[in-house]
Amino acid sequence: RLGLYRIVLLYMGLQAGFLILQAVTFATVLLAATYFFTSTAAAADFSVLLIFWMISLMLIGGSRFFVKVLLQGLIQNFRPKEPIIIYGAGSSGMQLVVALQNGDQYLPVAFVDDGHRMIGSSVHGIRVYSPNSLYELIETYSVRQILLAIPSATHAERKEILNRLEHLPVHVKTVPDLFDMVSGKVGVDEIRDIDIEDLLGRDIVPPDPQLLGACITGQAVMVTGAGGSIGSELCRQIVTINPSRLIILDAFEYGLYAIEAELREKLKSIEGGENISVVALLGSVCNRALMENAIKTFNVETVYHVAAYKQVPMVEKNIIEGAQNNIFGTLTSARASEDFGVKNFVLISTDKAVRPTNFMGATKRFAEQVLQAMAQRASRTRFSMVRFGNVLGSSGSVVPLFRRQISTGGPITVTHPEVTRYFMTVQEAAQLVIQAGSMAKGGDVFVLDMNEPIRIVDLAKKMVHLMGYDVKDENAYRGDIAIEYTGLRPGEKLYEELLIGESVTGTEHPKIMRAEEDFLVWEELQDLLNRLQLACREMNLAEIREILLEAVDGFEPKEEISDPLWNIQSKEYAAGAGNSGAASIEEGESATVTRLFRE
């Protein structure tokens, strides 16, 4: 049973043609055998067999292909497809055109390819053109979308292509990357919007397997803040490097639940995954008893301390919790690690810790100094920190926000026309963090190479253009998407920096640098920590501000304290004092406000 009648005519392809050829040839062989045994040698005319084979092939195969073409024509007439251009006439482009021709949504009308040898040829009946012909093709066929079928291209090559396509009046989409297709996660026809990584043009340096495994393979590893975007990506990469145990800790219940479920599923597809245990702990890094018991019980050897409050505007309005979590959470975790023999402790820091203008950045720089001071005491634990900029796709990232705003018709909100930021993918950031931690000697400040900073408004405009729209501004009143400037948020800077001083050296990894920076010695820091703890307990925000100004070099808060609890209760106290005839509270005077919280 060859299955000729199980073929769906509309989706017949090359494989069906071979099946028909096989069936007709088999029938001809049977006829030849019968003809041979029933005919005399004088009367035999074997040319009839060739005629039979040809006519059968034409009738059986030709009729089916004719019906297929007829059905496709009817479908196209009654259900019009959207004309599209495929950029890339390689193997992925060929697979994509076959998938789209059999679908009912897109009609490929042209290939575009950079290879000179392909130009002028036809692939599956579709002509290949030069990129210089794009504008003419768009006008001729009324094309509104271009699909990129170049999954093997580097990010730099894709960025160059996107720069050429940016000003065309089309929506640019892409097929998945080569790794996802080879691994079977997605098919070539699963079209999606352009990844922001393609706009950055940043290619990842292949990791050093020795650096990846030095602090992980065969060891018990803890990740705090595992439910967040960076922490969860660290966990995904760590389980592929064969730790003996992975302890994931977070105070965010759903985030912890989600990453635990994902990791357990991932372990099923990893060789030796059944030997890796994942332990999920719900709790805060400020809980000393929890941290000490967890590290002691599971014999933790490496800690990646990701847990932190990182949203600048939110920490500006919740300064005490920011200080408690970012500073004392780090101190508690570091002390527990030191006391119970952890070999490596890696803090995830931020570029906002460099000459900070906000409380979040100041608390992160304070946390860095805690580790630097502890490392100076000849600790058995190797403390280090890794500092980098914005992570694409993390919670609070501008990219998904811009995409939502564009899809709803705008406007796109940008804080300032000149604001710039460093960007890196979360996958690359996690990979570099792991490798940097393996190079630590004690007290190291590692800085990741973020390339050049990007103007946020330029990023927004590129996203608008590549989604097929025009920017609406004073030069283009008929544009589709407007960009509104909302002003810098409390504590926000126009640009970020990665280095406090100029003393920086390279490492054995081209994307990781080691900075030499001044810090407070433990004796000075301990006094500040005691004062800070008392100020947090007494809700004395003015004192917290003064301590951070003393401890963090270059801290220049641009705003007055904007914590709503502090401001409202201060005003109520001032009003009550005025009504009772008491002395008025002078603006900015901290002593009287301190008494409010002590009372």
pLDDT tens, position by position, 405-462: 888 888 899 988 888 887 888 888 999 999 999 999 989 999 888 778 888 888 888 8
pLDDT greater at residue 132 or residue 393: 132
What pLDDT does residue 384 have?
Answer: 95
CATH code assigned to 82-200: 3.40.50.720
Average pLDDT of the residues in 372-391: 89
Write down how long the chain is. Answer: 599
Residue 501: pLDDT over 70: no
Kindly indicate the confidence band of residue 586, based on its pLDDT and cuts at 50, 70 and 90: very low
Per-residue pLDDT at 591: 43
Question: CA 497, CA 514: separation in Å to the nearest integer?
Answer: 15
Catalytic residue (choose from 159, 310, 317, 352): 352
pTM of the predicted model as reported, rounded to 2 decimal places = 0.74
Strand pairing partners for 86? 111, 147
**Whole-number pLDDT of residue 273:** 87
Adjacent-strand bridge partners of 355: none
Using the predicted structure, report yes or no on whether residue 229 has a pLDDT greater than 60: yes
Q: Tell me, yes or no, if 185 is annotated catalytic.
A: no
One-letter amino acid for residue 319 of the chain: I
82-200 and 215-391+423-450+498-515 share one fold: yes
Q: Residue 338 contacts by C-beta under 8 Å, 6 or more apart in sequence? A: 345, 374, 379, 380, 381
CATH number for the segment(s) 215-391+423-450+498-515: 3.40.50.720
Name which of 209, 200, 266, 268 is nearest 431 in CA terms.
Answer: 209
Tens-digit pLDDT profile for residues 181-214: 444 455 545 677 777 667 776 667 788 889 999 9
Instruction: Decide which of 572 and 370 is more confident.
Output: 370
Greater pLDDT, 123 or 189: 123
pLDDT of residue 589: 41
- pLDDT (tens digit per residue) in 16-52: 777 777 787 888 888 788 777 776 655 666 677 788 8
Give Cβ neighbours of residue 155 (< 8 Å, ≥ 6 apart).
197, 198, 200, 201, 202, 203
| pLDDT above 50 (res 583) | no
- 246 versus 166: the higher-pLDDT residue is 246
Predicted confidence band of residue 79 (pLDDT cuts 50, 70, 90): low
Q: What is the DSSP string of 39-57?
A: S-TTT--THHHHHHHHHHI
Return the top range by mean pLDDT from 159-168, 465-474, 536-545: 536-545
Q: Give 473's DSSP letter.
A: B
Q: Which residue has the higher pLDDT, 345 or 194?
A: 345
Peptide bond into 411 cis (omega under 30): yes
Q: What is the mean pLDDT of the chain?
A: 82
Question: Quick one: pLDDT band at residue 592, thresholds 50, 70, 90?
Answer: very low
DSSP structure string for 127-138:
EEE-GGGHHHHH
pLDDT of residue 597: 38
Provide the residue ranges of all domains of the chain, joining segments of one domain with +: 4-78, 82-200, 215-391+423-450+498-515, 522-598
